[in-house]
Structure 1
Amino acid sequence: MRDVYRGLAVVAALAVAGVAVVMALPSRPDEAGARPVAAPSAVPASSGPPPSAGTEPISAVSASASASASASASASASASPTPSASPTAKRTPTPGASLAPGYTAMEALYADTRVPRLTGKVKRLSLPAGTKHLIKDKRSGLAVPNLGKPWKTYRAAPFTSRQMLPKNRRDSRRGMLLTCPLPIEAQETPRDTALLAARWTLNHHPRGAKIRWLASQRAKDGWMLLYQVTYGKRSSRAAVVVSDGGMAKPGLAFVTVPDTQRNRWREISRIVAGVRDLG
């Protein structure tokens, strides 16, 4: 019996020693637990289930879808043509409005507040007989009356012929008769060309000049316009004759006389009546 108890004591001692050895050994960390913990994303976590292996995170998918939608919208906007006015559509500029490039000369004329519309109410002028004494301008293809004293012939440049009245002591303005090849683009009708020519002559009147039509009628191979030019309290009487003299461009005769020399206004009718073509 004593041997039995002794054997049990030995077994117990060995068991205690074994437990001590096991507890003394260092514990081996689990492989999954050894992985570093990822930092939390700045984007709030989704309340849905986590993505399965091999799929993109939800935030990346959302960003990708948003970018695709934005690109699709941009492409659609680029593909859609912007509505624009038809190039053949009739345009009516508002008088005084600034004109975009592409407007025609006549559209610019109609928008110019200095030049009123030429209506059928403008009368014809009863012209006297023309004079036989002419100045022939071969560059413009026109012949105009040689006015004689007190008119005087002056150096023509930049025109091709020029006659002028003497200077007035009270005013630097004075009457002049000029000819030159048409300084503007010829239009489809002589009347329209004459209208543009009259508008061009405002460059040779004081600033702020405006036109008032007095007479309009056909001339031989062209058109004649008589008009009053006002600027402030002063004015001039003027006329243009546009005529085809057989040159590369039609010819222009332009006469203007200020109100300080109004006693010469009656000569304007004789001047325009005497304009002739050389061709």
Structure 2
Amino acid sequence: MKHYLLLGVLAVAPLAQATTGVAFVHGTGHQTDALNDYWTRDFVDSVRQGLPNPAKYTVINCDFEQYMWTDAAAGCLAGQLQSFISNQGISDLLLVTHSNGGNVVRWILSNPTWDSRYPNIINKTRRVIALAPSSGGTPLADAVVNGNAFEQVLGWLLGYASDAVKQQQVSWMAHYNSSWLNGTAGRPSLGVTFETVVGTDVDSAIWDSDSYCAGYQNQVALETTQNWLDSCSDGFLNCSSQSAAGTVWFRDKDKTRGREPLSHQQSRRDCFNLDVLIRDRL
């Protein structure tokens, strides 16, 4: 009997000793204060309460205006994740990404020999929660690159025709997904759990208080850009793009409070209980 009890203790010991941490990885943009400018402190502080030790978190600040494989993008992300793992003793890494941040993370997970820092990060990573990832690109990137008339409307969202925007053109992402990136249909798996939250619609009714979460003006802009997308979209990405890599954890209305949709802006905010859903998932 004692022998079996000892085996049981040994079996759970590694799990009990794991140090879990979460990193928040922003989307397109050159961030220097993503905590306040991209995610908001309310969102981050709420989500990290799901950790055994809520102090074990980091918010990434990198130049995601660049192509995902560059030193400024994946190199910067790898450096900050490596420092977080080393300085905080993280052995169980969780990543919360948004939009193009999911592509930069997938680059690291898919190309372990590209950078000497990648293997350690991959080995420590247990789960990626990808919020509205642009895994399949977006027609809006094509429109911006081609100089479409509504480029000015999209400037606040895309940052105009940067390398990251060019990368997110639909045909370009199809190429990357078929050659350099894993996790999509017909490609090898990513080796870690990569689960997505899909935003399916945009609400901007002026009389609806839910339309004001994350800024009413953003909702109006996203409902405008939705005219160039499928009926199932978050105002920036078609649902098919958000679902292209990994597995779908849920579509917004399946779990959000009041069955509310999550626009592309709202999927990085504490809107409709999203923060609590992620917190519980950690």
TM-score scaled by length of structure 1: 0.22
Higher relative contact order (CA 8 A, sep 6+): 2
More helix as a share of residues: 2
Asked which structure has the greater CA Rg, the reply is 1
TM-score scaled by length of structure 2: 0.22
